[in-house]
Structure 1
Amino acid sequence: MSEGAASKITPTSNPFPFTHHSLFVPPHHPLKVLTFPPPPPGPNVDQSPLFHHPQLPPPPGLLHVLMSAEKCQELVWGTKISQLESSASESSSGLSMSSPGLPLAQLSPTLPPPLPLTPTWEMLQETTARLLFMAVRWVRCLAPFQTLSKNDQLLLLQESWKELFLLHLAQWSVPWDLSAVLDCNQARERLPNDVHTATEIKTIQEIMCRFRQISPDGSECGCMKAIILFTPETSGLCDVQPVEMLQDQAQCILGDYVRMRYPRQPTRFGRLLLLVPSLRAIRSMTVELLFFKETIGEIPITQLLGDMYYMEKCATGTQ
């Protein structure tokens, strides 16, 4: 090509209408939205698991077990003692008792508490024998207690029977005034005439008075009995750990219950716990001579407790 022809080629005369920028840009085409038909309906599939395990209710807690035992005792005690109190109230200058056989905490809050009734010595002896049976039956109603070995069950009962009995006496004789009957001639004749025994009698009277002032309800009484029964310091136990765990659990339940039920009584929990060492300060011999000498005679109380406990096991059909 000659220089003259080359000079005639100008950019405007380019036969290919493309620039260097348009060489790598693809032409624009709008994308089509691809739609797929819905899948055909499949068979109905059960979403429930192949093996269905029903939800079982949780096992009852210790407080529920204790309250069940307390409710059972209310029914037994209400029928056993009502005849004694009704006959005594008729002969006590027109003194009437409301809700016989129930502690003050179970009475209606709209009614004033009944006046104290002074029982006779014969009434006290018959009542204490039944209270001992009730204490053994209360122990038999505790399912956690039955999980312990037979040896530990009997040892714990023999170790705590005195405290359990005195606590039952304080709980179920609230409408009674025991100070006079504990100072009567029949009581003095059955006890040694020494300072230690006199101090123990005074301690029993103070326990009854303090119990009347605090007026524990059924839940508190049940927890206190459990604290007394499950004593890990009992010598000869085969397995101390479950006993200690049950005592700690009963004490925690009592503390939580008192704080929730009686928020305006911050010292109530401590006052309840202080009853336990007072109960343990009394010798078993003193309780035995004072309350059971006429009913059991010379039979050792430990032997009687074993017979009563296993008799209750046969009556309930347990092993």
Structure 2
Amino acid sequence: MATEIPAEQFGKCQRETHRAKSILYQILHKEHESEAKRHQQYRSTHRFTGSKGCSCMDRRRVVLKTPEATCRRASEVLLKTLSFIRNLPSFYRVPWEDQLVLIQQNWAPLFVLGMAQEGVDFDLREISAPSLLKKILLNQSWTASNELGSSSLGASLAEVQKMKNLLWKFWDLDISVKEYAYLKGIILFNSGCHVLKCLPYVQTLQQEAQQALMEFISMMFHRNLDRFAWILWLIASLQDIDADAIEELFFRPILGEATLNVLLLETLYIKPDWL
């Protein structure tokens, strides 16, 4: 259940009342302390790779080999991600316009991070587009074939492979539950979104999460800040993941033509009237 925020505070920038030990800082320190040890092993034998030297990775399309099981696990990851956001009072203290921007720009990297934390691996199956000869024989017009849309043509192999490569790097680091909690805060409060109305407050929250992560790594890994730098590089790389490819691969089979962005906002109770 989301923490209730007084009406007079909702949607206001809280930089003035922010303290060094904010609510976000406390939640990040406590999150998942009662959780059982997460599953971090993955099956390297199931890695899906394209032909070496292939220059047409963007044109090659893939779908899930076992969509029922994988889509169910992906949905569970998304629900856990939304639960994390809903239980952050600091998130609801920014204007709703900023909430909208933060969700739209950061749900995809948060989702991939959740997949890494839950150890969700998946196998792929490559599909081929109908050949020109087949279209002619079946009397299919170019317009009709284009109307099939990406929903019938899967996701880009290049984009999906990029995501799988990042998952493997996260698993190789054997990131702890607390590190994942700090990383979620860093990603959600992405101060790179310069259109934010309450940018200084969001920057402060992100810096807090980064500081907490650095202190934790320094304490647990004997001041090995190389790990800190490497992890920050990984989460920066998450911003390059194509959100459309994620939606197409994991959620199109169950959403149909529905838009995931709208569904996310409805679930978080921040859907504006004009949507």
How high is the TM-score relative to the length of structure 2?
Answer: 0.68
Q: Counterparts of 1:127 and 1:306 in 2: how far apart (Å)?
A: 20
| Aligned match of 2:72 | 126
Q: Counterparts of 1:158 and 1:143 in 2: how far apart (Å)?
A: 19
Deviations 1:1-58 (A, max 9, x none): xxxxxxxxxxxxxxxxxxxxxxxxxxxxxxxxxxxxxxxxxxxxxxxxxxxxxxxxx9
Change (3 A) 1:299 1:128: same
Which has the larger Rg?
A: 1
Cα offset, 1:67, TM superposition: 4.1
Tell which deviates more after alignment, 205-214 or 62-71. 62-71
| Aligned match of 2:39 | 103
The aligned runs of 1:237-276 (5 Å cut-off) are 237-263=196-222, 265-276=224-235
Q: Counterparts of 2:186 and 2:21 in 1: how far apart (Å)?
A: 21
Cα offset, 1:192, TM superposition: 5.6
**Contact 2:23/2:89 (8 A) holds in 1:** no
Q: Is 1:160 matched with 2:119? A: no
Q: Counterparts of 2:218 and 2:255 in 1: how far apart (Å)?
A: 42
**Contact 1:69/1:142 (8 A) holds in 2:** no
**Contact 1:131/1:165 (8 A) holds in 2:** yes
Structure 2: where are the runs of 5+ without partners? 1-19, 47-64, 130-149, 271-275
Pairwise CA RMSD of aligned residues? 3.2
Tell which deviates more after alignment, 119-128 or 225-234. 119-128
Q: Counterparts of 1:234 and 1:150 in 2: how far apart (Å)?
A: 14
The aligned runs of 1:68-147 (5 Å cut-off) are 68-71=30-33, 74=35, 102-104=38-40, 120-147=66-93
Cα offset, 1:68, TM superposition: 3.6
**Contact 1:203/1:278 (8 A) holds in 2:** no
How high is the TM-score relative to the length of structure 1?
Answer: 0.59
* Percent identical residues: 25
**Contact 2:42/2:121 (8 A) holds in 1:** no
Counterpart of 2:159 (choices 190, 197, 200) is 200
**Contact 2:154/2:249 (8 A) holds in 1:** no
**Contact 2:77/2:115 (8 A) holds in 1:** yes
Counterpart of 1:169 (choices 115, 120, 131) is 115
**Contact 1:139/1:145 (8 A) holds in 2:** yes
Q: Counterparts of 1:115 and 1:298 in 2: how far apart (Å)?
A: 32
Change (3 A) 1:292 1:186: farther
**Contact 1:136/1:309 (8 A) holds in 2:** yes
Residue 82 of structure 2 aligns to which amino acid in structure 1? V
Q: Counterparts of 2:97 and 2:233 in 1: how far apart (Å)?
A: 29
| Aligned match of 1:221 | 180
**Contact 2:213/2:228 (8 A) holds in 1:** yes
Change (3 A) 1:192 1:267: farther
Counterpart of 1:212 (choices 171, 182, 201) is 171
Cα offset, 1:265, TM superposition: 3.9
Q: Is 1:307 matched with 2:269? A: no
Q: Counterparts of 2:23 and 2:228 in 1: how far apart (Å)?
A: 20
Q: Counterparts of 1:142 and 1:297 in 2: how far apart (Å)?
A: 30
**Contact 2:23/2:90 (8 A) holds in 1:** no
Q: Counterparts of 2:30 and 2:118 in 1: how far apart (Å)?
A: 17
Deviations 1:164-217 (A, max 9, x none): 1110011102xx543xx1x324799958689xx332222111111111110111
Secondary structure of 1:292 counterpart: helix
Structure 1: where are the runs of 5+ without partners? 1-57, 79-98, 105-112, 312-319
Residue 286 of structure 1 aligns to which amino acid in structure 2? A
Change (3 A) 1:306 1:103: same
| Aligned match of 1:64 | 26
Change (3 A) 1:264 1:69: closer
| Aligned match of 1:288 | 247
Q: Which has the higher contact order (CA 8 A, sep 6+)?
A: 2
Cα offset, 1:122, TM superposition: 1.3
